[in-house]
Chain A
């Protein structure tokens, strides 16, 4: 133990000295290296190790700086960072406090793109077999893009021109910068939870490869893959291909084109309806003509002629029968008349006055009853005899029954 206690430092004092020397002694510098052990913390801070073949340095990029990043660093990516050397006192470790981070050339981005593409392809995220067809007549379309970009304006304009009644639902997100991919993924999940749209357009207008990078990130790709609602990607211009395009059910070359792909043209559908109506009317007229023709043909056919002939024959037969019946009736009547006449003369023969005129007479008793037998007569009875002309009262002298 030394006798000069003034020279004994605490660990904290030593660390503070180191911190002061390092932070003052090393100016803000640009450093190139390969990213490893990358951690994207939920706080928005990014932690990683920058290394070369021989050594490594811990790096931290705080949220305030990281939020301006277009392209998030990935493990294995060559980057150039600008940062200040600081000391993380708790751990007693020096580190780079990164202010800016750039991918070391376009080649690095292309490599990162290829790496992710290969990985996701291997997992089947791009399989054509799982891609869904879009509904022909969507009622509502969900849009995941920036509320202020050209993309949303283009989509609204084209969609309303093609199908004025379409319902559009926008989930506003940041489409570039660190965190954009996370927001896009959350928005896609939100639409799936919300459930009131038939398909999704996910995209943004044109920009540099760095501007479009959120659509090359794994979070975006996985959210599109996990969506139960069909997704149309619409990123940048025709020539821009992103990972999102490979996962999406349909890739649209631009946001305007996405609206065209998703919606039929109402005017075309209207003219198709006109056409259908004309065909329907024609068909009905044709059908009516056809029936009328068949009716005419039937009327003119031999069968119908035969039927008419048959009717004529029957009519004639009927007339003939009627004639005969009339004649028979006449004969019958004549016969009856003769019979009546005969009966009349018979009746004349039975008239008692006829008998009296031939010399017979009728005797009646006191009560006027015709006497048909002598048995009821007694001597002295008075009877009335009627002659053809006049009557006489006679007395019975003797009855001889």
Chain B
């Protein structure tokens, strides 16, 4: 569930889009209603980016191979 949500949101793409929106807005060559739509899109993307920045992982995953050669993963806390 967590992974799906993260996969759907690509931080790098979101940040690139924000940059693009800011540049377009700053160019001034834009209709007012388009500007409002871009402003809304930009602020929504930024909120999502900020949410991603505020996530905290408290464990690491151990990847190992079992006796049958199958890969296994296991969560392991890294809290001090």
A-side residues, CB < 8 A to B, are 135-137, 139, 142, 147, 156, 160, 164-172, 186-187, 190-191, 193-194, 266, 269-270, 272-273, 276-277, 279-284, 286-288, 290-291
User: Are A287 and B30 closer than 8 Å at their CB atoms?
Assistant: yes
B-side residues, CB < 8 A to A, are 6-7, 11-12, 15, 18-19, 21-22, 25-26, 28, 30, 32, 35-36, 39, 42-43, 46, 49-50, 52-57, 60-65, 71, 73, 76, 78
User: Are B71 and A194 closer than 8 Å at their CB atoms?
Assistant: yes
Bound Cα distance from A170 to B59, whole angstroms: 11
User: Are B46 and A284 closer than 8 Å at their CB atoms?
Assistant: no
What are 13 inter-chain pairs, A to B, with CB distance below 8 A?
A160-B57, A166-B57, A167-B57, A169-B61, A169-B73, A170-B61, A191-B63, A193-B71, A194-B71, A273-B18, A279-B22, A284-B25, A287-B28
Q: Chain B's nearest CB lies how many Å from the CB of A184?
A: 13
Summarize B's interface: helix, strand, loop or mixed: helix
What are the 4 closest A-B residue pairs judged by CB atoms, nearest first?
A: A165-B55, A283-B25, A168-B60, A164-B56
User: Are B39 and A142 closer than 8 Å at their CB atoms?
Assistant: no
Residue of B nearest to A166 (CB): B57
Q: Chain B's nearest CB lies how many Å from the CB of A368?
A: 89
Q: Chain A's nearest CB lies how many Å from the CB of B34?
A: 10
User: Are A172 and B64 closer than 8 Å at their CB atoms?
Assistant: yes
Q: Which residues on the A side are within 8 Å of B50 (C-beta)? A: 270, 273
User: Are B60 and A169 closer than 8 Å at their CB atoms?
Assistant: yes
User: Are A164 and B57 closer than 8 Å at their CB atoms?
Assistant: yes
Q: A156-B78, A276-B18 are in contact. Are A286 and B28 (CB under 8 A)?
A: yes
Q: Chain A's nearest CB lies how many Å from the CB of B60?
A: 4
Bound Cα distance from A172 to B64, whole angstroms: 7
Q: Which residues on the B side are within 8 Å of A187 (C-beta)? A: 63
Q: Chain A's nearest CB lies how many Å from the CB of B9?
A: 10
Bound Cα distance from A283 to B24, whole angstroms: 9
Residue of B7, B35, B54, B65 touching A186 (CB-CB under 8 A):
B65
User: Are B63 and A137 closer than 8 Å at their CB atoms?
Assistant: no
User: Are A270 and B53 closer than 8 Å at their CB atoms?
Assistant: yes
User: Are B61 and A167 closer than 8 Å at their CB atoms?
Assistant: yes
Q: Which residues on the B side are within 8 Å of A186 (C-beta)? A: 65
Bound Cα distance from A9 to B32, whole angstroms: 109
Bound Cα distance from A270 to B36, whole angstroms: 23
User: Are B43 and A172 closer than 8 Å at their CB atoms?
Assistant: no
Q: Which residues on the B side are within 8 Å of A279 (C-beta)? A: 22, 25-26
User: Are B6 and A284 closer than 8 Å at their CB atoms?
Assistant: no
Q: Which residues on the B side are within 8 Å of A194 (C-beta)? A: 63, 71, 73
Residue of B6, B42, B63 touching A169 (CB-CB under 8 A):
B63
Residue of B19, B64, B76 touching A276 (CB-CB under 8 A):
B19
Q: Which residues on the B side are within 8 Å of A276 (C-beta)? A: 18-19, 22, 42, 46
Residue of B39, B53, B64, B76 touching A280 (CB-CB under 8 A):
B39
User: Are B32 and A291 closer than 8 Å at their CB atoms?
Assistant: yes
User: Are B32 and A137 closer than 8 Å at their CB atoms?
Assistant: no
Q: Which residues on the B side are within 8 Å of A266 (C-beta)? A: 53
User: Are A190 and B65 closer than 8 Å at their CB atoms?
Assistant: yes
